[in-house]
Structure 1
């Protein structure tokens, strides 16, 4: 499974990428607006910081505006992926960009039919917003599963990207369903390796080892082992 970090914070991006577990970055207008940074500047910095794909979202409504924004984004770096909403104009813009060899991430996908159109248009990724589907009272993971089944039926090559994840549970279930990619907020990324049983086991082993090493038993055992080895030789 491919891991993207959903962030525009360079500090968080550097921290997450230092683990070697992050394969790319996704951004969106809300993240940029909340951060208060200049969009062009921060995206250029991100593209320099990471070697993997960096998704950047258009804000224009019409096809021509989307294409114009896409051309501007592509100047930020060779690893830019253009994010386009799953709208009527968005699918047209996606097809035109894909015909030019531009990688597109169809975003704000909430249904099997939208995912079908994304694949038909040639999108590299389709971002399925499972958390927002849950918020609306439906089952986001079920929608993800149905899209996986549909893609497998036809052998579509568009990668299914689980987005709007709210918990480690979302990521685990998305992986079981077969999502190709998941984009993870930094808060959830930090929780991935956390497990109460693992942490309890580490404390228990550490305690036992320290008691063993301080008791003198370890040294006596080492002496016996040396004598046994010498005798065998």
Structure 2
């Protein structure tokens, strides 16, 4: 399973990259705004900087919601760097645009997916990635992890090549459950990724080891 970090914070991206386990980055306008990055030129330059740090797929989101605008914005984003993946919302014109991008050799990430039906449409259009939002599904009273399993089963049965990119990760356990459910990729803030490092028995064992090391002089 691939690990992407979901942020526009360069320090967090560098820290995750330094761990040696980072495969890519996802971000969006909200995350850009959180870092104080505003304006098309500044945002595009930020994407370029991210691409210089991480040698992997970098999802860059379009702002348009009609076919022509999505395509035009996507072409600009894809031209920034070979590793850019155009992030497109799961709407009617978004699906049409994903098909256009697929036919023209541009990788895509279909975002805001909340059902197996939407995931099927994205795969049929040729999306490189489909992003089910686990945390938001859980918040609505449904089971986000069950959706990951359902999509994984459908994609295997139907031979779809679209990768399941589990998004809206809230904690380290979500990452483990995604691995069990068959996700190809998870995208997460830095904290849940670092949370995988933690276990109380590891802390106790290290403490004992250090104590014994001191006794040895």
Same fold (TM over 0.5): yes
1:1-233 equivalence runs, <5 A: 1-37=1-37, 38-211=42-215, 213-214=216-217
Root-mean-square deviation (Å): 1.0
Aligned residues: 213
Q: Tell me the equivalent position of 1:217.
A: none
Q: TM-score, normalised by structure 1?
A: 0.89
CA-CA distance at 1:210 after TM superposition: 2.3
Answer whether contact 1:47 1:76 (CA < 8 A) is retained.
no
Residue 109 of structure 2: SS of its match in structure 1? strand
Deviations 1:95-125 (A, max 9, x none): 0100111100001100000000011000110
Larger Rg: 1
Residue 165 of structure 1: SS of its match in structure 2? coil
Question: Any unmatched runs of 5+ in structure 1?
Answer: 215-233
Residue 195 of structure 2: SS of its match in structure 1? coil
Deviations 1:57-90 (A, max 9, x none): 1110100000000011012111000000111110
Deviations 1:129-151 (A, max 9, x none): 00000111111111111111111
Runs of 4+ aligned structure 1 residues displaced above 2 Å come to none
CA-CA distance at 1:208 after TM superposition: 2.2
Residue 114 of structure 1: SS of its match in structure 2? helix
Q: TM-score, normalised by structure 2?
A: 0.95
Question: Any unmatched runs of 5+ in structure 2?
Answer: none
Cα distance in 2 between the residues matched to 1:40 and 1:205: 48
